[in-house]
């Protein structure tokens, strides 16, 4: 009977070890996915910021090369 308990305890320990390894693998996979998603979000945020900044400093109607400030305001 004592040998049966030792075998059972050994099997339970192996099952717990396998569960722990599986959980660790899932955590690593989730971390990798999160890091990739964060990188993609940073790229998108940079592009949106660039377009917004460019739109904010662009002169409506474009710039007229060779015209003075007064001529641009009058046209």
CB 75 within 8 A of CB 64: yes
**Rounded CA gap, 18 and 12, in Å?**
10
Q: Model confidence over 2-46: pLDDT tens digits?
A: 777 777 778 888 889 999 999 999 999 999 999 999 999 999 999
**Rounded CA gap, 68 and 65, in Å?**
9
Model confidence band, residue 57 (pLDDT cutoffs 50, 70, 90): confident
In 3D, which of 24, 64, 27 has the Cα closest to residue 73? 64
């Amino acid at each position: 009977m004592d040998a049966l308990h030792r075998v059972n305890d050994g099997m339970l320990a192996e099952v717990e070890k396998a569960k722990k390894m599986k959980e660790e693998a899932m955590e690593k996979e989730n971390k990798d996915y999160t890091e990739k998603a964060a990188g993609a979000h940073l790229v998108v945020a940079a592009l949106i910021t660039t377009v917004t900044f460019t739109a904010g400093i662009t002169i409506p109607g474009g710039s007229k090369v060779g015209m003075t400030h007064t001529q641009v305001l009058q046209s």
